[in-house]
Structure 1
Amino acid sequence: MVTSTPTSSPLRAGMLGGGFMARTHSQAARLAGAELSAIAASSESSTERARAALGFARGLRAADLAVAGFDVVHVCTPNQTHAAYARTALAAGSHVICEKPLATSTAEARELVEVAHAAGLTGTVPFVYRYHPMVREARERIRAGEAGAILTVDGSYLQDWLLDAGDVNWRVDAGEGGPSRAFADIGSHLVDLIEFVTGDRISRLAATTRTVHPQRGSAAVSTEDTVAVTVEFAGGGIGTLLVSQVAPGRKNALVIEIAGDRESLRFEQERPEQLWVGRRQGSALVDRDADTLAPDAARLCRVPAGHPQGYQDAFNAFVADSYALMRGNQTRGGTPGGTPGDAPDGVPTFVDGLRAAAVTEAVLAAAESGTWVEVPQS
C-alpha cells in the first residue's frame, strides 16, 4: 500500500491558486508530508481566505511566491499563466507540479521541458487517472501480452457542467483558458490515459469540434464544447474519442475500452473499483483487491478491498510519487524527462505535458483543415 510517511525532511511547498484544484493539491501535499509554506490567490482577500481554509503558514503575492525558491511550487492558476509561473519557479530553483495544460502551446511546453532538464529539476503534471489501481492493472495485463495485439480503442470523457448558455467560467474565455477548452481540459486526460495503458501512441488523427454556445452570458465564446476524434496508433490500432462538457447527466464520465485480439479491457472512472475483462468466452469483472492485482496496481491500494477509493486517493498517490521523484533528483541528480532507477513507475512529467499539448494542437489543426493530421512523436 501507499504510505504517507515522509522519508526525509519535509518539502517546503508553495501554492499558486486558491480554488478547487488548490484544495485538492494541498490535501495531497499535506498527506505526503509537505510543509505548507505559502499560498497566493487572485487577490489579497482571496489569498487570506485560502490560507486560513487550507492551512498554509502565510499568504504571498503570486509574483513573490514564484521566485521565493520553495522546494516545490504547485501551479493551480488559469491556463494561460501556467507556463510563465512554471518557468519563474524553475528559475528560482523550485521543482514544479503544474496543472494541465502545462502550456497552451507546444512551443511553450517544450521550453519548460528543456528548462527543467537543464536545471536538473523535476516537473510533473497531474494526469492523476493513471493512479487508479485498476488502471495500473489494465496496463500490466497489456504489458504482459494478455490482451494480445491492440485492435481498437473506444474512449470518451463526458461532463455536463457547461451544459447551459448561462454556465460561465474563466475556462470559456480563450484569453484565460487558451485556444482549446474541452479537449485541453479533459480530452488531454483521455489521451494520456489511453496512451499510458496501451503503451502505444496516436500517430495521426482527424477531428471535428463544435461550440454549442457561442455566447455565454455577455461573453463571446470561441473555444469548443464538444470534440469527436478518429485516431490511428503507431502500432496499427484504430479508435474513436468523444469529449463533451455539455452531456446532460454526465458528471465525470471518463471511459476507455481497449480491444486486443485476445481480450478487451474497460475502465470507467466513475466506477473505479472494477475492471471489465472481455473475452469471447467467460468475460469477468475484476475487483480492486491488492492480494490479486499486479504489483504496480497493488502498491496503489490505500485501503483494504471493499473500501472504495476515488479521485482524491489517486491525486494523493500522484503527489506522493512526484515528491519521491523530486527527492530522487535532489539526492541522485535525476532528470525530469526520465526517472532515476528506483523512482516510482509511471509518474507523469513535463514530457507528458508536452505530449498533451502536441495532441491538442493536432486536434485543433485537424478540425480547422478537415483533413488527417500527423501527430509529432517527440
Structure 2
Amino acid sequence: MADAVRAGIIGAGFIGTVHAHAVRAAGGQVTRVAASTPDRGAQAASRLGARAASGSGEELVDADDVDVVHICTPNSTHVPLARRALAAGKPVVCEKPLATNLPDARQLAGEAAGHVATVPFVYRFYPAVREARARVAAGGAGPLILLHGAYLQNWQAGDGPAGWRGDAAEGGAHRAFADVGVHWCDLVEFTSGHRITRLLATTAAGGRATTVQFATDGGASGSVVVSQAAHGRRNALRISLDGERAAYRFDQEDPETLLVGGPDGDLAVHRGAPGYSDAAAHYSLLPPGHPQGYQDCFNAFVADSYAAIRGETPDGLPTFDDGLRAAVLTDAVIRSSDSAAWVDVP
C-alpha cells in the first residue's frame, strides 16, 4: 500500500462528497470515483478532485490504484460491492445498512472478519458524546434507569420526495428506522454500555415514522421516536441517559454542549471545558468556541478507519459487526411492528 491511502469512492451524491472531504482530511488521496453511469462518474471525478473515473463500481474495486473502497451507493448494492472488495483483500468503508435483510448482513459481517471493514456511525465521534460515555463508564450517573430521546428529520414532511429510499426494495417499509433510527440506537448503546434486549415498535406514515419502547440488559427501560416527516426538524438526534445520580443529554443540533442533569437542574458542559476526559479531548480538534460539526465527525471516523488500516486499534471504531447489530435491531422493529407485540432482540 502507498504511504498515502488511495481511496476509491463508489457513489457521488451528498454522502460520497462527505466521504471525499474526509479522505483528504485523513491524509488520503481520492484516486477514483464511480457513479451510476460513466458520464456521471466523469463529472463526479472532476467535482471531487479524483484522479480518474471508473466506468462502474466493480471496475473501481478492481483498480490497482485503489487501496480502500468507500461504498456510498443505494442499499441493495452494498452486499455485492463490499463482498467484491473483501475478496480482493481491500479494506471497506460501507454506508449503512450493510444489507437490505438480516441474513445478508450476517453473512457479510462474517466475511469481513479479519479485515478492516467499517460503517459510518459517525455521531460517536462528537467530543460531547465521548464525554458522556466516559462519565457513564466512570459511574457518574450511577445505575442507568431510563434511556430516551428521538431522531427527527423533515425532509419527507408534507409527503416530500423520498428518491430511491422510497423504493421498498431499497428503503423497505420501515425506512426511517433503517435509515436514521439505527443511528440513535447505536449512539445510545455506545454511550450507555447497555444493549437493547426486547422492544415493542409501531411504524406509521408509510415507514416515515416509528416509535420504539425497549428494555436493556442493564436493567434500564427506554423509548425513541423516529421520524423523517417532522416539520421544522432538520437533524434532531437527541439522547438522554438518566441514572440514579445524574443524567447526560446530547442534541446533535447543539453538538458543542453536553447537558448534565442533577438535583439543581442542568449544567452545560461545553467542549474543551476543564475536566473534560481524555477520551473526549482526543476528538476535540479545534479551540473551544470554534464549532465542530458533522463533517468533523466524519473526518475523525475516516481517520480512525485509516489508522486501523495501518494496524492501530482506535477505541470505538464502528465495524461491520456494528452494522450487523443495526440490521438485527431493524429486523426486530419489523417483526414487532408486523405482529404488534414485544419481541426479543438477539
* Matched positions, count: 343
SS in 1 for 2:170: helix
Per the TM alignment, residue 113 of structure 1 is displaced from its structure 2 partner at its CA by 1.6
CA-atom RMSD in angstroms: 1.3
Match of 1:102 among 94, 98, 105: 98
Q: Give aligned-pair identity as a percent.
A: 50
Q: Work out which of the residue numbers 118, 141, 145 in structure 2 matches 1:147.
A: 141
CA distance in 1, matches of 2:93, 2:145: 35
Partners in 1 of 2:132 and 2:285 — Cα distance? 18
Q: Tell me by how many angstroms 1:177 deviates.
A: 2.7
Instruction: State how 1:213-362 maps to structure 2 within 5 Å.
Output: 224-281=207-264, 283-289=266-272, 291-328=274-311, 343-362=313-332
Q: Is 2:174–2:208's contact at 8 Å kept on the other side of the alignment?
A: no
Name the CA shift for 1:211/1:283 in 2 (closer, same or farther; >3 Å). closer
- More off after superposition, 361-370 vs 66-75: 66-75
Tell me the residue number matched to 1:29. Answer: 23
Q: Distance in 1 between matches of 2:162 and 2:135?
A: 42
Is contact 1:160-1:246 (8 Å) kept? yes
SS at match of 1:175: coil
Which letter does structure 2 place at the counterpart of 1:67?
A: D
Give the match for residue 40 of structure 1. Answer: 34
C-alpha distance in structure 2 between counterparts of 1:200 and 1:34, whole Å: 35
| Structure 1: tracts of 5 or more residues without a match | 1-7, 213-223, 329-341
Normalised TM-score (structure 2): 0.96
Shift of 1:106: 1.7
1:82 lines up with 2:78 in the alignment: yes
Q: What's the secondary structure of 2:169's corresponding residue?
A: helix
**Correspondence 1:112-123 to 2 at 5 A:** 112-117=108-113, 120-123=114-117
Does residue 195 in structure 1 map to residue 177 in structure 2? no
Cα displacement (A) at 1:155: 1.6
TM-score by length of 1: 0.88
Alignment partners' CA distance in 1, 2:298 and 2:32: 20
Distance 1:176 1:238 in 2: 31
Question: Residue 23 of structure 2 aligns to a residue in which SS?
Answer: helix
By how many angstroms is 1:290 displaced? 6.2
Secondary structure of 1:191's aligned partner: helix
Q: Which amino acid letter does the alignment assign opposite residue 59 of structure 2? A: D
- Does 1:370 pair with 2:336? no
CA distance in structure 2 between the partners assigned to 1:170 and 1:292 by the alignment: 45
- Residue matched to 1:67: 62
CA-to-aligned-CA distance 1:115-151 (integer Å, 9 cap, x gap): 121xx31100000000000000000000000000010
Return the offset for 1:103.
1.3
Matched position secondary structure for 1:176: coil
Which residue of 1 is the match for residue 155 of structure 2? 161
What SS does the corresponding residue of 2:141 show, helix, strand or coil? Answer: coil
Partner residue, 1:177 = 171
CA apart distance, 1:175 = 1.8
Task: Tell me the amino acid that sits aligned with residue 19 of structure 2.
Answer: H
Distance 1:114 1:35 in 2: 29
The separation in 1 between residues aligned to 2:253 and 2:95, in whole angstroms, is: 21
Equivalent residue letter for 1:371: A
State the 4+ residue runs in structure 1 displaced beyond 3 angstroms.
none
Q: Deviations over 1:156-208 (max 9, x none)?
A: 00001011234231101012334531001000100000000001100000000
Contact 2:198 2:215 in 1 (8 A): yes
Gaps of 5+ in 2: none
